[in-house]
Chain A
């Protein structure tokens, strides 16, 4: 045995490979992205035959895994929680039809939220879809739960959900790993077996499948009542207060109780849906008050039939939004315990120090586009060309940070920028608003779900400019390849590159230009041309593909052709560049007298030269020449 420090997502991936998962698909999204990366790592390390792919979106990823399961193979699909919305259609359907090989769906929830548009609870989606859920509390348990999940999925012929949260996905824990490769099993001798009444069920048969599904869930609930994943710690230490917790909140609650110096019964729930109501009801009945701690919403609590002794999100005891931080959990437990007459340790925080630190107005460090990012150049050009009057629908990705440059007005969900532009165009026509509509969307997001609304726009004669920010990669989530890449998920080069320009033409768009946002003049004239085309009679959508590699992923073009810059002595500290260009390497002096370049991080892209309209940011060579004069 050796011990290694594994990321939560790697622990899940290891569990998948250990349990003979043969097909694993995903669409990248924080906090889930490292799950598929992990499967690729371990399939190579253990020389396992596992098909892995970054699918074009979550719905496609889900359906590919489902087909593998219907063939009889073990399959898994990973995504962030909002990705499960995109895959909700097949999820709900697959619950009725059931599966053959075990199918584990892994939507990573994001209480906080840290990097998401909502704090939605995938366990509630599962409740709605009628799919059982496993809710791990730490990386070690997540790895172990994969075995339970596959086994349950196959025993009941049901898809199952393994639901981690950000603090598990991005925790690292020391795990025991075998020194030898885990035993491999040969690929099972299975084939897709035709069964139209199930795999192609019509509404009448769907009714029967629903009845069957309800019966399966009753049996799963009975099984969960005896599951080792649900257990009580510190049993019998009190009959006044108890705690029910699932997921990461279990360890947070246990730690908080220790810090409060109190020992009360704590029921750990590893299977929040279908909730083993008998087991939990008995626990609740044995106590005077029970606190339910779960994230990000109330799933266990909702399923409790008698909530007269239950304190949680539904009665307002637990905050209804935000993460269950140690401080939040501690405060809830302290309140309930004090009410019940417990003596608890005083909180360890020092309010005076806290107040002083808050009064220091320390710099707020907002996330920004990286230094040298071509998206910044594109946004800067958009703003210069169309000004603050244009409506800028945008989308999900690094480029959401274009909000700092004032060129992002809306951000809804993957692909929404193009649909919102359809909507703004129609609404603006009704209300008599002639402002330009300028859309930005990334390459991966466009391929994910930007194409149907583009077809819609062409068909209905909508006019706007669509700028596809093509940096050749899914950058925000860690450089996963897209369908327009030369590489496949596991590095294989058998990929067929899908050409974004060809797709756009095929949607019926007649104006398509590719331009490098680093080449300011050409890029801006292309934008003008596009706008004029969109406004001309019979114009419609004009598409500009802003093509330039992500400089974090591929800095080669910069290192081959650097343009180091200096800020001249004449700089008057007007801060235009700092605010309008928002490059982390442009730093206003503390005394606000002038701007300096932070050469520790500057990548010499030279893009800020245009960001000073007074001409005080100049190429280094020019400045040297100038000083010699």
Chain B
């Protein structure tokens, strides 16, 4: 019965964990990704946290594009982690599978203690000073959108930038221009970084270098 009602699952499944602090727009971020995936014909299942846990505090959301209807993602199986804050990236690193990727908003990369484990688990850290960039655009509130744009520049997040742009224009009617600029800025930074990385294989940005 629910097979008829739910969108037919796509054969492949992408599992994302989105983490940040209350007020950073974790729920908006996951809605942006989910609605874009649905517009592209994928099924989605995601979970979010409301109420007591929303007043400040760590906020986390799990997003499954295609595949199962289970709302939570098991530790050690997520493909991608989007972290709006470096400590929240660290806290949620154990969700990633071997070979997973973390996109993180940070000026300095992740603490050097984890580097060895990331290498062992073949986890890539792709970092961006998204808050700094958002402030340059005029508001820290669009930090999350900068980070999404950044992630979209990499093949790991198979959501085309055009599709993200279209969703963003719909779900952020107020401050639309600023949001689109933020997406663009993140995307361009990602394109540059991805290009540089191809030129210098293995140059990742963890550690406080």
Chain A complexes with chain B? yes
Chain A interfacial positions (CB closer than 8 Å to B)? 3-5, 30-31, 33, 114-115, 137-138, 140-141, 143-144, 167-168, 170-176, 228-229, 248, 251-252, 254-256, 258-259, 325-327, 330, 347-350, 352-354, 356-357, 360, 362-363, 365-370, 398, 401, 476-478, 584, 600-601
Measured between beta carbons, the chain A residues less than 8 angstroms from B82 are none
CA distance A369 to B56 in the complex (A): 8
- With A5-B35, A327-B74 given, is the CB distance from A357 to B53 under 8 Å? no
Measured between beta carbons, the chain B residues less than 8 angstroms from A173 are 6, 43-46, 69
Q: Are A140 and B6 in contact (CB under 8 A)?
A: yes
Interface contact tally, CB-CB below 8 A: 179
Which of B89-97, B149-157, B177-185 contacts the other chain?
Answer: B89-97
CA distance A256 to B30 in the complex (A): 23
Which of B111-119, B187-195, B196-204 contacts the other chain?
Answer: B111-119
- With A173-B44, A326-B70, A365-B57 given, is the CB distance from A476 to B75 under 8 Å? no
Q: Are A367 and B70 in contact (CB under 8 A)?
A: no
Q: Are B48 and A170 in contact (CB under 8 A)?
A: yes
- With A167-B71, A367-B56 given, is the CB distance from A259 to B5 under 8 Å? no
Task: Flag whether B205 is at the interface (Cβ < 8 A).
Answer: no
CA distance A256 to B73 in the complex (A): 10
Chain A residue with the shortest CB-CB distance to B58: A365
Task: Flag whether B23 is at the interface (Cβ < 8 A).
Answer: yes
20 inter-chain pairs at a CB distance below 8 angstroms, sorted by A residue, are A31-B51, A138-B71, A144-B1, A167-B72, A170-B49, A173-B45, A251-B71, A258-B68, A347-B76, A349-B76, A350-B98, A353-B117, A357-B91, A360-B90, A360-B113, A362-B90, A368-B57, A369-B55, A401-B55, A584-B56
Task: Flag whether B169 is at the interface (Cβ < 8 A).
Answer: no
How far in angstroms is the closest Cβ of chain B from A181? 18
- With A5-B38, A138-B6, A174-B44 given, is the CB distance from A476 to B52 under 8 Å? yes
Measured between beta carbons, the chain A residues less than 8 angstroms from B114 are 353, 356-357
Measured between beta carbons, the chain B residues less than 8 angstroms from A31 are 50-51
Q: Are B46 and A259 in contact (CB under 8 A)?
A: no
Measured between beta carbons, the chain B residues less than 8 angstroms from A369 are 55
Q: Are B55 and A368 in contact (CB under 8 A)?
A: yes
Measured between beta carbons, the chain A residues less than 8 angstroms from B76 are 347-350
Chain B residue with the shortest CB-CB distance to A600: B140
How far in angstroms is the closest Cβ of chain B from A608? 16
Known: A255-B74, A356-B117, A357-B94. 13 other contacts (CB 8 A): A30-B52, A140-B6, A172-B31, A172-B46, A176-B7, A256-B74, A259-B77, A327-B74, A350-B98, A353-B93, A365-B21, A367-B55, A370-B55
How far in angstroms is the closest Cβ of chain B from A511? 32
Measured between beta carbons, the chain B residues less than 8 angstroms from A326 are 70, 72-75
Within 8 A of A (CB), among B103-144: 111, 113-114, 117, 121, 140
Chain B residue with the shortest CB-CB distance to A359: B113
- With A255-B68, A476-B51 given, is the CB distance from A137 to B121 under 8 Å? no
Chain B residue with the shortest CB-CB distance to A148: B1
How far in angstroms is the closest Cβ of chain B from A602? 12
CA distance A478 to B6 in the complex (A): 28
Measured between beta carbons, the chain B residues less than 8 angstroms from A251 are 68-71
Measured between beta carbons, the chain A residues less than 8 angstroms from B5 are 140-141, 143-144, 175-176
Measured between beta carbons, the chain A residues less than 8 angstroms from B91 are 357, 362
How far in angstroms is the closest Cβ of chain A from B118? 8
How far in angstroms is the closest Cβ of chain B from A303? 23
Measured between beta carbons, the chain A residues less than 8 angstroms from B6 are 138, 140, 173-176
CA distance A252 to B6 in the complex (A): 17
Task: Flag whether B34 is at the interface (Cβ < 8 A).
Answer: yes
CA distance A477 to B53 in the complex (A): 11
